[in-house]
Amino acid sequence: MNTKSARTTNTIERIVIAGGGTAGWMAAAALSHHFEVLTQQGSLPLAPQITLVESEAIGTVGVGEATIPSIRAFNHSLGIDELEFIKKTHATFKLGIEFRDWRQPNSTLFHPFADYGMPLKGVDFYHYLNRLKLEGEAIDPSDYSFSAQLAKQGRFAQPHPNPPTPLADYGYAYHFDAGRYALFLREYAEQRGVIRLEGKIEHVQLDQSNGHIESIRLDNGKKIQGDLFLDCSGFRGLLIEQSLKTGYDDWRQWLPCDRAIAIQTEKNGDPTPYTLTIARDSGWQWRIPLQHRTGNGYVYSSAFCNTDTARETLLQGLDGAPIKEPRSFEFVTGTRKKVWHKNCYALGLASGFLEPLESTSISLIQTGISRLLTFFPHHGYCQSNIDEVNRQHRHEFERIRDFIILHYKITRRSDTEFWRHCQNMAVPDTLRHKMELYKSRGYIMAQSPEAFEPDSWAAIYMGFHYDANDYDRRADAIELGDLKQQLKKIRDTIHNAASQPTSHAEFIARHCAAED
């Protein structure tokens, strides 16, 4: 047997992507680039034909405009020039998220894309902050985060590729126009041979012998056959659910918000280098600044608020004039029981939904694509591969789910029925265990891999004043007076360094202002 031939044989000749938007075009761009590389290096004799079907009449949700730093790696993997991307999508930079009124009214905390301080004598920095808290010291964690201080001052600078000190190491993400990003990736994908077809999917034909999807038929009568189908059809899950009936796990008992109203407003002042989320009576409001406008929305629970009240709450909380009428969405927080079933692979909203509190929607598309490329069925479908993808997907969703639930559970707000419900609700055992470990000794448990690292958990614990009763006693190796001096030095270094870069608005104007 020729092992090289067996290794390079590709049984997937036709890939059909059902749905465009961010998920569909991210998949099309990533797959077309992936196969281009494989064919160039001789690992694949012929790239599969990729066809994307979308309907302008259906449209997309298109409100996932805030991201986490992993989006930079995705763009870089495709060879996309960062400044060109920013100009084309009217993007701004994001150093983290400011949470306003979450712990209680008139409170503020910042979740930065960076660690706090740096380990001292091999002990994580937040243990020293917990030690000082237990000594009665007033602690503001953001004093020890370079990116948090940049954000507070409205400044931005790209981190040095080889920072002289761990204190200067931080990440950043973007706010961008999701519609423009989809168009940007569409152009990229079509240049690499992806075929786009306009039309609505009217019928899905299954192969009666094995239950696989055989073809789809459009409203114009066109029939499209495929070997692998990607479901990027949004909440409805046209292929993965409506056709293959994989089932859905509903998590609303832990995440009660099930509605959202979104609206775009005119630009009002310089854009902030962070996302703003403001707690409201029955949920929370987002504010995402782009170069040319601001994205706004209210995520709320229909059990505690009606649509008219939610709409009025959002409109009263705007800081700019509306550009369009508000759009409403209904959703069920949770995940598909299987995102890969037979020859169908679900991405984006078709795979499940976690509310956008920590801006993970686009990141989840990205990791879904990464798993598909890792376990791509070059030699045909292997059930162990499919099972592993589904296991990894659930693990990722559950870890992010727990992190988001934490924001609601440890609030000290009791001024509305919604917030009292959140305080009193039961949480998943996985989160309860993490919370108990932190409360007892300041230990942050990580079930690797997790989208949010220990310092992100520390940001929420400390920012919400969910105080630990103890700390890692190895932190006592530094005498208290010396520790205070070291922390003051770190704090002063960070504050001074954060005052040096130019403003966020000036950085964009100099380097990457949108051209249209």
Catalytic residue numbers, as ranges = 94
- Going from the C-alpha of 304 to that of each of 252, 257, 418, 424, the distances in angstroms are 13, 9, 6, 15
C-alpha–C-alpha distance, residues 329 and 313, integer Å: 16
> What does DSSP assign to residue 140?
-
- Going from the C-alpha of 509 to that of each of 80, 264, 293, the distances in angstroms are 20, 22, 15
Starting at the earlier edge strand, list the strands of the sheet with 14-18: 195-198, 49-54, 14-18, 228-231, 344-346, 340-341
Determine how β-strand 344-346 pairs with β-strand 228-231: parallel
Q: Are 276 and 286 in contact (CB under 8 A)?
A: yes
Starting at the earlier edge strand, list the strands of the sheet with 293-300: 108-112, 96-100, 275-280, 283-289, 293-300, 259-266, 327-330
148-160: b or e for each residue (b if 16 or more CB lie within 10 Å)? bbbbbebbbbeee
**CA pseudo-torsion sign 108, 114, 120, 124:** positive
The maximal CA–CA distance of the chain, rounded, in angstroms, is 78
The continuous run of DSSP H or E covering 266 comes out as strand 259-266
Among all chains, which residue has been given the structure tokens 């520790």? 483
- 328, β-bridge pairs: 261
Nearest to 214 by CA among 340, 341, 339, 343: 343
Tell me if residue 405 falls in helix, strand or coil. Answer: helix
C-alpha–C-alpha distance, residues 354 and 452, integer Å: 14
475-498: b or e for each residue (b if 16 or more CB lie within 10 Å)? beebeeeebeeebeebeeebeebb
C-alpha–C-alpha distance, residues 211 and 202, integer Å: 19
Those residues whose C-beta lies under 8 Å from the C-beta of residue 116, and which sit 6 or more positions away, are 125, 126, 129, 141, 144, 145, 455, 458, 459
C-alpha–C-alpha distance, residues 330 and 234, integer Å: 12
